[in-house]
Chains A and B, each alone.
Chain A
């Protein structure tokens, strides 16, 4: 079965600093989804990457997909306290029906003002 490893497990940064979170898959990636979760709450969809080399940005968050490396990265520029939370990557188990996502364990981000 597919496994997604996220690094780092946790991260503490000063407000205004840039940071990167990585997600590495044990198998071929057929797409990669990034979600954010506040403690004790549901997941909020951030971005979806479908093709190797694809890069997407939303506000100060940029995600990239490297299919060859079976890896995705999430980069936050000029972090703010509102960016704090748990970032989760998820990937479909197959390239066909694309119906089920396997998730990593998450990266806990703390942004100190």
Chain B
């Protein structure tokens, strides 16, 4: 297992365009999380899935954002009509529900979005 993979690592787009990020979690992990991190800040929670069910979405996740996790495997995060304020690092993490008393998140390397 190679850990959590994210693609693409870098994306530069023009304002108004749509972008999609993909996350492949660790295969036996049933929870998947998306976070957003801007320069000088800690990661901010966006949403999380348990298997294929999206169980929580942050208020940070506007209507332009949508996340899916079909079949409980990989996940995609789509941003429609991008704005310059969407420029950030988008981090994916996964964990295994059932690990007693703990929920260690394993993070991917992130997808950096720059909106011009």
User: Which A residues contact B (CB, under 8 angstroms)?
Assistant: 4, 31, 33, 35, 40-45, 48, 50, 88, 90, 92, 98-106
What is the distance, in angstroms, from A93's C-beta to the closest C-beta of chain B? Answer: 9
Q: How far does the alpha carbon of A84 sit from the alpha carbon of B62 in the complex, in Å?
A: 35
Q: How many whole Å from A74's CB to the nearest CB in chain B?
A: 15
Which residue of chain B has the shortest Cβ distance to A99 in the bound complex? B103
- List residues of chain B with CB under 8 Å of any chain A CB: 4, 6, 31, 33, 40-45, 48, 50, 55-56, 89, 91, 93, 95, 97, 101-110, 112
Tell me whether B43 and A103 are in contact (CB under 8 A): yes
Contact in complex: A101, B45 (CB < 8 Å): yes
Cβ contact of A42, chosen from B41, B97, B103, B108, cutoff 8 A: B108
- Rounded to whole Å, the gap between the CB of B51 and the closest CB of chain A is 13
Cβ-closest chain A residue relative to B56:
A100
Task: Find chain B residues with CB under 8 A from A40 CB.
Answer: 89, 110, 112
Residues from chain B with a CB closer than 8 A to the CB of A44 are: 107
**Chain A, interface SS category:** strand
- B48 adjacent to A98 (CB under 8 Å): no
Would A43 and B107 count as touching, CB distance under 8 A?
A: yes
Which B-chain residue is minimally distant from A35 (CB atoms)?
B107
* Distance in angstroms between the alpha carbons of A69 and B112 in the assembled complex: 36
**For the complex, what is the distance from the CA of A98 to the CA of B96, rounded to whole Å?**
12
Distance in angstroms from B47 CB to nearest chain A CB is 10
How far apart are A71's CB and chain B's nearest CB, in angstroms?
17
The residue in chain B whose Cβ has the minimal distance to the Cβ of A105 is B42
Given contacts A88-B42, A104-B42, contact A41 B104 (CB under 8 A): no
Partner of B103, one of A88, A92, A105: A92
- What are the residues of chain B within 8 A of A101 when measuring CB–CB? 45, 103, 105
Please tell me if the beta carbons of A99 and B48 are within 8 angstroms of each other in the complex. yes
Q: A43-B91, A102-B45, A104-B42 are in contact. Are A50 and B107 (CB under 8 A)?
A: no
Nearest B residue to A31, CB-CB: B102
Min CB–CB distance B114 → chain A (angstroms): 12
Of chain B, the residue at the smallest CB distance from A41 is: B109
Q: How far is the CB of B7 from chain A (nearest CB, A)?
A: 13
23 A-B interface contacts by CB (under 8 A): A4-B42, A33-B105, A35-B107, A40-B110, A40-B112, A42-B6, A42-B108, A43-B93, A43-B105, A45-B106, A88-B42, A88-B43, A90-B105, A98-B103, A99-B48, A100-B33, A100-B45, A101-B45, A102-B45, A103-B43, A103-B44, A104-B42, A106-B42
